[in-house]
A and B are shown apart, each in its own frame.
Chain A
Amino acid sequence: MEKLGTPAVSVITTAFETAGRARARVLGCERHPQIAMAHPLASRTTAEIAQIADQLVDRIAAALTQEL
């Protein structure tokens, strides 16, 4: 998406930080922003997810608007 001109950010859990950076490097997007939340994700309640989203939203917005 970044290459097509649409700002993008990956939101992942900490377990996938290394893999995410490696994949971004392979795809030629080494500076692609990545924001990690605590692992795990799958077993969270909807309320917990909403709380995490509230915590991350400013960082996500900043990552989407920063110059790479």
Chain B
Amino acid sequence: MAAAPGTRPGVPEEAKPARRYCLQADFAGLQTAIEARGWGDGLPVIPPTENLVERMLERSPYAREHVLGIMEPVQGIVTVEKVAANAVMAGCVAEYFPVVLAAVRAVLQPQFHVGSGACTTGGAAPVVIVSGSLAEILGINSRTACFGGNIKANATIGRALRLSMRNLGGAKPDGMEKSTLAWPGKISMCFAENEARSPWEPFRVDRGFAKESTTVSVVAARGLYPLTEGVQNTGLGVLETVAAGMRMVGAPIYYQGKVPVVVNFSPEHANEIARAGFTKQGVRNYLFEHCRLPAGVLRDRGYYTAGCWPQGIDENDDAAMVPIVSTPDHLWIVVAGGDGRHSAWMPAWNVCQGATEAVVTD
């Protein structure tokens, strides 16, 4: 069993076993009972019976009573056992559990601001990005339709995180969940890096982890914005279109730029860009320089407040160009997807700086 990660001051390292409920009903009756208690997300769930939760726990590197942290906004105590119950409900097989635990540990990092993201009108949802060899072993899709949730590992790992956030953090509709609209990421959004077709170093290396590791990065994203470029056949041409697509009035990121923006290139786009001589850092620098909008266009719109732009931007100068993020490092460059000429960007919301955890298996 792995050495359990320490908790923060004031958070106990162990907690009592989760409460048991005795529900006697057929499958449909159990769905009704679970839904009535507010434990579901609207879709059918696998009833978290003791034997199924035990099977999940067998794959845990930590003891069942270990406390991973406190889930805001209602400050639920997050034990390994409670996460296991939510992973069962989401439909995970036990092999996925270390990845689910890493995702939960990521959102519990303070810079993730999980309570803020769960309660905002902005509708932020956690986007889970898996980077490393475990993704292939577990069948986490990095290729065709990888954002679509139609692969078991993607659908259930993302859902397990969301159910854990919802059931342990307590942000539910008609309560503390205040999204004006939200987006389907609130059900599940998980995909893997398509490392086999990436021309660059793996995403986990960008995040400061060893190449041999498998990591889970999570960011609370405002939404998913597709970027199509099917005519230009040079890397620079693709980048020009991507940057133009990200110069979007109404995207709150231009007022909240101290948080990440995930830019996901399809393999075709990525390889054309790399052939044009761009390293990942080169791509970050290009987008930082070209994803800018004039202060005169942004001011008094969107989420403008005085002082919201990086130092050096004269707020009163209509021609001053406001960058999408405050530094190039906030641009998270990922390669995922199948054949085709469609990339996408996903801006983080408000204060969520994203977080990465290594997957621990034993």
In the bound complex, do residue A22 and residue B178 qualify as a contact, i.e. CB atoms below 8 Å apart? no
Q: Hey, what's the 0/1 contact readout for B95-119 against A, CB within 8 Å counting as 1?
A: 0000000000000000000000001
Stretch at the interface among B169-177, B277-285, B318-326, B332-340: B169-177
In the bound complex, do residue B174 and residue A19 qualify as a contact, i.e. CB atoms below 8 Å apart? no
In the bound complex, do residue A23 and residue B176 qualify as a contact, i.e. CB atoms below 8 Å apart? yes
Interface size on A, residues (CB 8 A): 7
User: B202 contacts the other chain (Cβ, under 8 Å)?
Assistant: no
Q: Which residue of A lies closest to B170 (CB)?
A: A22
In the bound complex, do residue A19 and residue B75 qualify as a contact, i.e. CB atoms below 8 Å apart? no
In the bound complex, do residue A26 and residue B175 qualify as a contact, i.e. CB atoms below 8 Å apart? no
* Chain B facing A: main interface SS: loop
User: A18 contacts the other chain (Cβ, under 8 Å)?
Assistant: yes
User: B205 contacts the other chain (Cβ, under 8 Å)?
Assistant: no
Bound-state CA distance A18–B176 (Å) is 7
Bound-state CA distance A49–B74 (Å) is 31
User: A15 contacts the other chain (Cβ, under 8 Å)?
Assistant: yes
Q: Hey, what's the 0/1 contact readout for A39-57 against B, CB within 8 Å counting as 1?
A: 0000000000000000000
Could you say which residues of chain B place their CB within 8 Å of the CB of A22?
73-74, 170, 175-176
Interface residue ranges of B155-174 to A (CB < 8 Å): 170, 174
In the bound complex, do residue B119 and residue A26 qualify as a contact, i.e. CB atoms below 8 Å apart? no
Q: Return the 10 tightest CB-CB contacts between A and B, nearest first.
A: A19-B176, A26-B74, A26-B75, A22-B176, A18-B175, A23-B73, A19-B119, A19-B178, A22-B175, A22-B74
